[in-house]
Amino acid sequence: MYLFLAFLLVPIIEIALFIQVGGLIGLWPTLAIVVLTAILGTWLVRTQGRMALGQLQRAFNELDDPTEPLAHGAMILFSGALLLTPGFFTDAVGFALLIPGVRVAVFRYLRSRVTVTQFQMGSAAQFHARRDPFDQGDIIDGEFTEVHPGREPGKPSGWVEGPHRH
């Protein structure tokens, strides 16, 4: 139901804002603002995205919970989509999501609404992920020579033609 309302209300809000802003400042300044916000938004999304990726890598390297950096990355990606969509309302929401404090507030709100029943990282998660209970995770590297019964190693099998046969 919420998705339906969003698809219905967002275009109506955008059209109303285009009419209002275009009536106040004219067509070309309105279009220039839309293009400039897309360019500025793209630059900001790249900058914020690099920072979020760095935080995610740090969380993985230190075996911390990556939930918050992943959520920030998803919100930055969503922000980029909103900023590339022409419109004043979507630009306002997109720019708001680029503010770290807003993202933290959105993350806290979403975290309060979601219940995680289990989370594992590191060797315990790898241990439980194994399908074979007898697999100890050890790999033994070696070489072998197959010897058939009734034949000595190094002697021809009888199937090989060559200088040793007369």
pLDDT in tens, 97-136: 999 999 999 999 999 988 877 666 555 545 555 555 555 5
Q: Where are the domains of the chain?
A: 34-114
User: What distance in Å separates the CA atoms of residue 14 and residue 36, rounded to the nearest whole number?
Assistant: 17
| Residue-wise pLDDT tens digits, 35-77 | 999 999 999 999 999 999 999 999 888 888 888 999 999 999 9
Token digits of residue 50: 């690099």
In this structure, are residues 80 and 98 in contact, taking their beta carbons and an 8 Å threshold?
Answer: no
* Average model confidence (pLDDT) across the chain: 82
Is the pLDDT confidence value at 139 over 90?
no
pLDDT at 117: 72
Is the pLDDT confidence value at 7 over 60?
yes
Is the pLDDT confidence value at 143 over 70?
yes
pLDDT at 156: 61
pTM, two decimals, is 0.65
